[in-house]
Chains A and B, each alone.
Chain A
Amino acid sequence: SQQGEEDPQALSIQEGENATMNCSYKTSINNLQWYRQNSGRGLVHLILIRSNEREKHSGRLRVTLDTSKKSSSLLITASRAADTASYFCATSIAGTALIFGKGTTLSVSS
């Protein structure tokens, strides 16, 4: 069964607003990663958070991880039109294959 499930499936916001995406998973993990995919392109690694971490920042990105609830959130602050893309969470058990959710499609309009 699918490990990660993102919520919402689609999100539309205005430039300058914040965007929050959530991810839930089912089993214990070593780490959780967030990726961005622009239409028709490959995946860009955004951030990795380990199972013993609760929060991590990278530029305008903030990721939280709650292992008791088996959930993570990705916050993009002060969004830009260039942030328009699909965002995927992916979990890893013992550093092997990544298991992806179906993604959240973010549209940022100017």
Chain B
Amino acid sequence: NAGVMQNPRHLVRRRGQEARLRCSPMKGHSHVYWYRQLPEEGLKFMVYLQKENIIDESGMPKERFSAEFPKEGPSILRIQQVVRGDSAAYFCASSPKGNEQYFGPGTRLTVT
């Protein structure tokens, strides 16, 4: 059973461009969580999704950020019009029942 997959692993974008981060959960997991980690800090929750539904987006910035988890395919975290402050590591986690979460390797976004 492959672990949580995230791609790309590294992403460089210029200010104003769009960033799309993908997450494929572990097989059989229908719960997906996105977290952001700034340098020297712990992870901060962004959004929690189940298939086709956003369950909790209380940690998501109100503008420029969106997330989806379609019936088919990976979960996508989309950041529009990126700014330097969006530079961070973005981690996805999946869970079978909403308890123990298994993390992917992360996508490191650098905004130049």
Chain A positions within 8 Å of B, measured between CB atoms, are 2, 4, 30-31, 33, 35, 40-45, 48, 88, 90, 92, 95-103
Q: Size band of the B side of the interface?
A: 20 to 34
Contact call B33/A97, Cβ cutoff below 8 A: yes
Q: How many A-B residue pairs have CB under 8 A?
A: 59
**Known contacts A95-B98, A97-B48; is-contact A43 B42 (Cβ 8 Å):** no
Contact indicator per residue, chain B 43-70, by CB within 8 Å of chain A (1) or not (0): 1110010000001101100000000000
B103 partner, pick from A2, A45, A101, A102, beta carbons under 8 A = A45
Contact call A42/B42, Cβ cutoff below 8 A: no
B105 at the interface (CB under 8 A from A): yes
Chain B positions within 8 Å of A, measured between CB atoms, are 33, 35, 40-45, 48, 55-56, 58-59, 91, 93, 97-106, 108
Contact call A48/B100, Cβ cutoff below 8 A: yes
Contact call A102/B104, Cβ cutoff below 8 A: no
Contact call A100/B44, Cβ cutoff below 8 A: yes
Residues of A within 8 A of B41 (CB): 102
Residues of B within 8 A of A30 (CB): 99
Q: How far is the CA of A98 from the CA of B48 in the complex (A)?
A: 10
Q: Can you list 15 pairs linking A and B with CB atoms under 8 Å apart?
A: A33-B101, A42-B104, A43-B91, A48-B99, A92-B99, A95-B97, A95-B98, A96-B55, A96-B98, A97-B58, A97-B59, A98-B43, A98-B45, A100-B42, A100-B44
Closest to B108 in A: A40
**Known contacts A43-B43, A103-B42; is-contact A97 B56 (Cβ 8 Å):** yes
Contact call B103/A95, Cβ cutoff below 8 A: no
Residues of B within 8 A of A101 (CB): 42
Contact call B45/A45, Cβ cutoff below 8 A: no
Q: How far is the CA of A12 from the CA of B106 in the complex (A)?
A: 27
